[in-house]
Amino acid sequence: MSNKLIDLQNISKSFGGNLVLDELDLYIRENEFLTLLGPSGCGKTTTLRIIGGFETPDTGSVLFEGKDITNLAPDKREVNTVFQKYALFPHMTIAENIAFGLKIRKKSASYIKDKIRYALKLVNLDGYEKRMPDSLSGGQQQRIAIARAIVNEPKVLLLDEPLGALDLKLRQDMQYELIRLKNELGITFIYVTHDQEEALTMSDTIVVMNQGYIQQIGTPEQVYNEPENAFVADFIGDSNILPGIMIRDELVEILGARFDCVDKGFGENNPVDVVIRPEDIDLVSPGEGTIEGIVTDTIFKGVHYEMCVMSRGFEFIVHSTDYYPENIKVDLKVNPFDIQIMHKPESEDEKAVEIDERLP
Amino acid sequence: MKKTVGRLYLTLVLIFLYAPIATLMVLSFNSSKSRAHWGGFTFEWYLGLISNEEIMDAFRTTLILAFLSAFIATVLGTAACTGMQFMRRRYRSIIMGITNIPMLNADIVTGVSLMLLFIAARVSMGFTTVLLSHITFNIPYVILSVMPRYRELNKSTYEAALDLGAGPVYAFFKVVLPDLMGAVLSGFLMSFTMSLDDFIITHFTQGPGFDTLSTKIYSEVKKGINPEIYALSTIMFLAVLILLFFVNYRPHLDKENVKK
Amino acid sequence: MKDSRNSLVTAPYLLWSVGFIIIPLIMIIYYAFTGPDGSFTTRNVGDIIYFVNMKALMLSIALSLVSTCMCLLIAYPLALVLTQVVEKNSSLMALIFILPMWMNSLLRTFAWQNILERKGVLNGILVFLGLQPFYIINKPPAIILGMVYDFLPFMVLPIYNSVSEIDKDLINAARDLGAGSFQTLYRVIWPLSLPGVISGITMVFVPSLTTFVISDILGGGKILLIGNIIEQLFTQDSDWNAGAGLSVILMIFIVISMIITAKYDREDG
């Protein structure tokens, strides 16, 4: 996992005066499961389409194994795509769909037959050769779309929100399926989604994007536990984001109360943003915690209770397996390493310091 | 490169489509009555047009006929589509099958069949018979325009209106019709245009002394067409061109304003 | 939603279509199989074997087949170009399909006389460019040109509609899987646009087969198509039985052409 397989350099792209990608730099390593994560309109799909060859960037270049492929047509690239709505050819059988790329490469009939059988087995749909795409369920069409792409033995598989149209249960099953496929094939996956859970479950690397900028690149753990800024913290999981003042290293003041933390290097008396995950807040009896509050709302969520705690004008979200009724007075306590300190964003765009936390 | 070839091809086809139209426009300013050669520029035909009762009569008849037939066809066709929503699929497809007959059948067969009907029913040929015929071939255009829109329509808005206490008629006019309006309007325009341009069916169902522009032109083809007809056609064409230009240009302007 | 009372608003149209579509068709068939005295006969339909009628029918079939093929050859690339160059519902579409109709079609066909005749516009240009003038006016090629001109929009429109309905991602998927532009056209776009092609073919073939106007205007009155013969029987000779007989023959050809195209549609779709 060290070679730069794909290198996007200084990519900008706008549609009708709308800047979708702004000087984006990103590399993808061989054998990596990389996820582009962000809300709709953040530029993640455009990035994927630029790699696939369906869009040409306005500026910048795309390198594949060191060679410039910016202007190479899609049919000449060693990548294959699984489209959002599968894009199976409706006038062809499943076997014809899977054979499409192989026939164009003029492979022998017996090779094609073997490949179809192998691919269908891989996606657990043996015996579906003669069926038509519209007779298959969404999940099955999805698998065929993957089979159709991988028989061509691409070096990279691009997946554009492939699970978006499936229902929850199927989506979860397919997540494991995709991880298994990735491991069996040993190729690079570039995955686009707006679903943070999907991203956290499957990825080696997550690239969080917003408004055409990369907000953070890191492992799922890094992105979740150490969000680079308020956007990342807010987008990935529930979180309490509140302004604070860094008194000195390892001490932050929030809502007038002083909390111990583990972050250093933010200077002294500097304004910062503070993230505390709802599950990291302990509710304790009055007097035992750092800051006082009153429970305003309690909802049973199955695995835990979700409570709103009003404290000095800020409403904390707290997840806990312990039940606290409404209107009861409590204290809040947070372990120092559960407090995440972030730089204040410099502009409205929240253009983040593009820090790649992967080891080069 | 590919785009350039495409645009070139498009231009060639447009030249093909508009060559006769351009020719007619030029002829409408040709002072020589024989169309073979250019005799100099003139407005004579445009001025003469106003006092030419025969042509103006045919023109009025054509417009009234087109409007009436399109209007009645639109009402009948929209009502038919509405009723079909409440029908079983089988009956609906039978009706749609009948609707397709005038679309697929040859105009000449439709024309002579209606002619035979009017003769058998001893209706004297004239404005009424032509109007009935035009309505007949116009209704399918309305139905084929409105029916697909009904399929896309969200049925629950109608049911919501009923749920909120509206009667079916009120609900139709206040909730369903506004949603259909685009399709209804395009059905009307299609009918209007078809009626305006029809010759064959009018030819078989017209009576003596009755003329639309089409039948007038046909009767003059052999003896030579009065250039005043070119003048009238040029005016009609330019009027629609300008209208289309405005219709298409307005939303364009709006978009630009939003951007600012 | 199945309320029989509400479906009554269809009744006026239903009555109308019975009165003005079904009954007239029955009348044609009735006239076709009766003599002037009202007795049953197959003579009217049998008239087709006369040399004049047969020749006209064959010529009609030949000319309409040629013009349908030419329309397809011109329209298909045009539809492809249109889907790439224009947005849907743009004014260019109106320019091609709606606007020309506002100039009377008889006049537009008539204008081809001016363009094509011996000393017409086209030959004027050809001579000016030092090229050989050509004379097709009053000959079958002129009629074919008139047919292609009049009915081309009916071929372009359904093909354009079916091509523009093809999901862009299907085309992207074909490219992604290694197909070049031609392979994509041949393996994906063409088969998916077949329904449009089929309906275009019927919409051009039937009016070409049955026209009498185009042959009248561009054939100089010397070339008789089956439409001209039927028209004359009805309007000049007032021989409705004979006219109805040939009309029935025409309807048989229309039905046959529809069955053939419908069959192709099913096999490929």
- The verdict on residue A359 lying in a domain is no
What angle (nearest 5°) sits at the alpha carbon of residue A101, between those of residues A95 and A104? Answer: 115
Please check whether residues A119 and A246 belong to one and the same domain.
no
pLDDT above 70 covers a percentage of chain B that reads 93
Q: Which of A189, A206, A225 is the last residue of a domain?
A: A225
Is A24:A214 a contact under the CB 8 Å cutoff? yes
pLDDT of A103 > 90? The answer is: yes
CB of B98 within 8 Å of a chain C CB? The answer is yes
Nearest to B117 among C27, C84, C112 (CB): C27
Task: Give the range with max mean pLDDT: B206-210, C85-89, C126-130, C229-233.
Answer: C229-233
- pLDDT in the model for residue A170: 83
Please check whether residues C69 and C137 belong to one and the same domain.
yes
- The verdict on residue A319 lying in a domain is yes
Please check whether residues A337 and A287 belong to one and the same domain.
yes
Please check whether residues C183 and C68 belong to one and the same domain.
yes
Tell which residue, B244, B241, B146, has the closest CA to residue B186.
B146
Question: In the structure, what pLDDT confidence band is assigned to residue B256 with cuts at 50, 70 and 90?
Answer: very low
CB of C17 within 8 Å of a chain B CB? The answer is yes
Q: At what angle do helices C140-164 and C105-116 cross, to 10 degrees?
A: 130
Average pLDDT for residues C70-92, to the nearest whole number? Answer: 83
As beta bridge partners, residue A307 has A298, A318
- Give the chain A residue whose CA is nearest to the CA of C195: A91
Q: Report which of residues A15 and C264 the model is more confident about.
A: A15
- The verdict on residue C39 lying in a domain is no
- pLDDT in the model for residue B257: 42
- pLDDT in the model for residue A110: 95
- pLDDT in the model for residue B251: 52
Average pLDDT for residues C41-57, to the nearest whole number? Answer: 91
Beta strands in chain A (DSSP E): 4-15, 18-29, 33-37, 59-64, 67-68, 79-82, 156-160, 188-193, 205-210, 213-218, 240-248, 251-254, 257-260, 270-276, 281-284, 291-300, 305-311, 314-320, 329-334, 340-342
- The verdict on residue C40 lying in a domain is no
d(CA A22, nearest CA chain C) in Å: 25
CB of C267 within 8 Å of a chain A CB? The answer is no
Nearest to B204 among C27, C234, C254 (CB): C234
What is the DSSP track for A235-286?
HSS--EEEEEEEEETTEEEETTEEEE-----S-SSEEEEEEE-GGGEEEE-T
- The verdict on residue A360 lying in a domain is no
Please check whether residues A102 and A175 belong to one and the same domain.
yes
- The verdict on residue A355 lying in a domain is no
Is A28:A188 a contact under the CB 8 Å cutoff? yes
- pLDDT in the model for residue C90: 62
CB of C183 within 8 Å of a chain A CB? The answer is yes
Please check whether residues C4 and C68 belong to one and the same domain.
no
Please check whether residues C54 and C25 belong to one and the same domain.
no
- The verdict on residue A35 lying in a domain is yes
CA distances from A177 to A115, A171, A181, A272, B90 (A): 19, 10, 6, 41, 45
Please check whether residues C2 and C92 belong to one and the same domain.
no
CB of B99 within 8 Å of a chain C CB? The answer is yes
Domain ranges, residue C28: 1-32
Token digits of residue B181:
């309006």
pLDDT of C267 > 60? The answer is: no
Q: ipTM for the complex? A: 0.88
- pLDDT in the model for residue C258: 82
CB of A83 within 8 Å of a chain C CB? The answer is yes
- Expressed in angstroms, the distance from the first to the final Cα of chain B is 33
> What burial letters (b/e) apply to A212-225, b meaning 16+ CB within 10 Å?
bbbbbbbbbebbbb
- pLDDT in the model for residue A53: 92
Token digits of residue C30:
């009735």
CA distances from C124 to B211, C116, C128, C130, C220 (A): 35, 10, 6, 10, 21
- pLDDT in the model for residue A194: 92
Please check whether residues A69 and A154 belong to one and the same domain.
yes
CB of C253 within 8 Å of a chain B CB? The answer is no
- pLDDT in the model for residue B15: 92
Contact C177 A83 (CB under 8 A): no
Please check whether residues A57 and A182 belong to one and the same domain.
yes
Residue with tokens 């705690």: A309
d(CA A103, nearest CA chain C) in Å: 9
- pLDDT in the model for residue A2: 54
> Quick one: three-class SS letters along B21-46?
HHHHHHHCCECCCCCCCCCCECCHHH
- Give the chain C residue whose CA is nearest to the CA of A73: C175
Provide the CATH number for the domain around residue A251: 2.40.50.140
- Kindly state the greatest CA–CA separation across chain B: 72
- The verdict on residue A347 lying in a domain is no
- Give the chain C residue whose CA is nearest to the CA of A150: C177
Tell which residue, A208, B20, A28, has the closest CA to residue C214.
B20
Please check whether residues A320 and A239 belong to one and the same domain.
yes
d(CA C178, nearest CA chain B) in Å: 20
CB of C255 within 8 Å of a chain A CB? The answer is no
Question: In the structure, what pLDDT confidence band is assigned to residue B36 with cuts at 50, 70 and 90?
Answer: low
- The verdict on residue C236 lying in a domain is yes
Q: Indicate the number of domains in chain C.
A: 2
Helix (H) or strand (E) holding C88: none
CA distances from C46 to C139, C229, C248 (A): 29, 15, 11
What angle (nearest 5°) sits at the alpha carbon of residue C107, between those of residues C106 and C110? Answer: 85
Question: In the structure, what pLDDT confidence band is assigned to residue B245 with cuts at 50, 70 and 90?
Answer: confident
Which of C165, C172, C176 to mutate to probe the A interface, most A CBs <10 Å? C176
Please check whether residues C83 and C22 belong to one and the same domain.
no
Token digits of residue A294:
């009153």
Please check whether residues A254 and A163 belong to one and the same domain.
no
Kindly report the backbone phi and psi dihedral angles of residue A290, in degrees, each rounded to the nearest multiple of 5, phi listed first: -90, -35
Provide the CATH number for the domain around residue A208: 3.40.50.300
Average pLDDT for residues C150-169, to the nearest whole number? Answer: 92
Tell which residue, C48, C70, C32, C65, has the closest CA to residue C256.
C65
Please check whether residues C92 and C163 belong to one and the same domain.
yes
pLDDT of A350 > 70? The answer is: no
Question: In the structure, what pLDDT confidence band is assigned to residue C89 with cuts at 50, 70 and 90?
Answer: low
CB contacts of B229 in chain C (<8 Å) are 107
CB contacts of C162 in chain A (<8 Å) are none
Strand order of the β-sheet with A4-15 is: A18-29, A4-15, A59-64, A67-68
d(CA B260, nearest CA chain C) in Å: 22
- Expressed in angstroms, the distance from the first to the final Cα of chain A is 9
Nearest to A104 among C172, C177, C191 (CB): C177
Domain ranges, residue A132: 4-225
- The verdict on residue A289 lying in a domain is yes
- Mean pLDDT of the residues in chain B: 88
- pLDDT in the model for residue C1: 46
Tell which residue, C56, C55, C35, has the closest CA to residue C45.
C35
> What burial letters (b/e) apply to B244-260, b meaning 16+ CB within 10 Å?
beeebeeeeeeeeeeee
Average pLDDT for residues A335-347, to the nearest whole number? Answer: 81
Please check whether residues C14 and C81 belong to one and the same domain.
no
Pairing of strands A329-334, A270-276: unpaired
- pLDDT in the model for residue B34: 65
- pLDDT in the model for residue C146: 96
Average pLDDT for residues C28-44, to the nearest whole number? Answer: 91
Token digits of residue B18:
């508009």
Tell which residue, C19, C41, C23, has the closest CA to residue C32.
C41
Residues 87-106 of C with CB under 8 A from B: 90-91, 94-96, 98-106
- pLDDT in the model for residue B255: 44
Average pLDDT for residues A79-89, to the nearest whole number? Answer: 92
- The verdict on residue C69 lying in a domain is yes
Instruction: Give dist(CA B126, CA B211) in Å, integer.
Output: 9
Domains of chain B: 53-153+179-225 (1.10.3720.10)
- pLDDT in the model for residue B252: 47
Contact B10 C85 (CB under 8 A): yes
Is C59:C222 a contact under the CB 8 Å cutoff? no
Residues 6 or more apart whose Cβ sits within 8 Å of residue C267 = none
Please check whether residues A18 and A143 belong to one and the same domain.
yes
pLDDT above 90 covers a percentage of chain B that reads 52
Q: Which of A164, A199, A225 is the last residue of a domain?
A: A225
Token digits of residue C230:
């039927």
Rg for chain A, CA atoms, rounded:
24
d(CA B223, nearest CA chain C) in Å: 12
Contact B86 C2 (CB under 8 A): yes
Please check whether residues A150 and A276 belong to one and the same domain.
no
Classified as helix, coil or strand, A350 is coil
- pLDDT in the model for residue B254: 46
pLDDT of B39 > 90? The answer is: no
Task: Kindly report, residue by residue over B106-159, the tens digit of the pLDDT.
Answer: 999 999 999 999 999 999 999 999 999 999 999 999 999 999 998 888 778 888
CB contacts of B82 in chain C (<8 Å) are 6, 9-10
Please check whether residues A98 and A207 belong to one and the same domain.
yes
Classified as helix, coil or strand, C126 is helix
Please check whether residues A217 and A252 belong to one and the same domain.
no
Question: In the structure, what pLDDT confidence band is assigned to residue A287 with cuts at 50, 70 and 90?
Answer: confident
- pLDDT in the model for residue C137: 85
Q: Which of A225, A248, A264 is the last residue of a domain?
A: A225
Chains that touch A (3 or more CB pairs under 8 A): C
Residues 143-182 of B with CB under 8 A from C: 143, 155, 168
- pLDDT in the model for residue B249: 64
Instruction: Give dist(CA B31, CA C127) in Å, integer.
Output: 24
Instruction: Give dist(CA C165, CA C159) in Å, integer.
Output: 10
Please check whether residues C154 and C228 belong to one and the same domain.
yes
Amino acid at C91: S
Instruction: Give dist(CA A104, CA A113) in Å, integer.
Output: 14
pLDDT of A45 > 90? The answer is: yes
| pTM for the predicted model, two decimal places | 0.84
Token digits of residue C213:
């106007």
- The verdict on residue A83 lying in a domain is yes
Tell which residue, A86, A22, A71, A80, has the closest CA to residue A48.
A80
Instruction: Give dist(CA B251, CA B249) in Å, integer.
Output: 6
Classified as helix, coil or strand, A56 is coil
Q: Which of B168-177, B236-245, B250-259 has the lowest mean pLDDT?
A: B250-259
d(CA B83, nearest CA chain C) in Å: 4
CB contacts of A73 in chain C (<8 Å) are 175, 180
Please check whether residues C196 and C76 belong to one and the same domain.
yes
Provide the CATH number for the domain around residue C143: 1.10.3720.10
Nearest to B168 among C6, C10, C202 (CB): C6
Tell which residue, A270, A267, A244, A271, has the closest CA to residue A334.
A244
Is A233:A274 a contact under the CB 8 Å cutoff? no
pLDDT of C269 > 50? The answer is: no
Q: Indicate the number of domains in chain A.
A: 2
Please check whether residues C142 and C245 belong to one and the same domain.
yes
Please check whether residues C28 and C82 belong to one and the same domain.
no
d(CA C176, nearest CA chain A) in Å: 5
Task: Kindly report, residue by residue over A116-136, the tens digit of the pLDDT.
Answer: 999 999 888 999 999 999 999
Please check whether residues A256 and A138 belong to one and the same domain.
no
Q: Which of A253-267, A339-353, B71-85, B181-195 has the lowest mean pLDDT?
A: A339-353
pLDDT above 70 covers a percentage of chain A that reads 95
- The verdict on residue C107 lying in a domain is yes
Nearest to A100 among C167, C169, C177 (CB): C177
pLDDT of B163 > 90? The answer is: no
What is the DSSP track for chain B?
-HHHHHHHHHHHHHHHHHHHHHHHHHHTTBS-SSTTS---B--HHHHHHHH-HHHHHHHHHHHHHHHHHHHHHHHHHHHHHHHHTTS-HHHHHHHHHHHHHHHHS-HHHHHHHHHHHHHHTTPPPSHHHHHHHHHHHHHHHHHHHHHHHHHHS-HHHHHHHHHTT--HHHHIIIIIHHHHHHHHHHHHHHHHHHHHH--HHHHHH--TT---HHHHHHHHHTT---HHHHHHHHHHHHHHHHHHHHHHHHHHHHHHHHH-
Other CB atoms within 10 Å distance of the CB of residue A170? 17
Instruction: Give dist(CA B6, CA B13) in Å, integer.
Output: 11
- Give the chain A residue whose CA is nearest to the CA of C193: A91
Task: Kindly report, residue by residue over C182-238, the tens digit of the pLDDT.
Answer: 999 999 999 999 989 999 999 999 999 999 999 999 998 889 999 999 999 999 998
- pLDDT in the model for residue A346: 59
Average pLDDT for residues A184-213, to the nearest whole number? Answer: 92
Other CB atoms within 10 Å distance of the CB of residue A288? 12
Token digits of residue A179:
């991880």
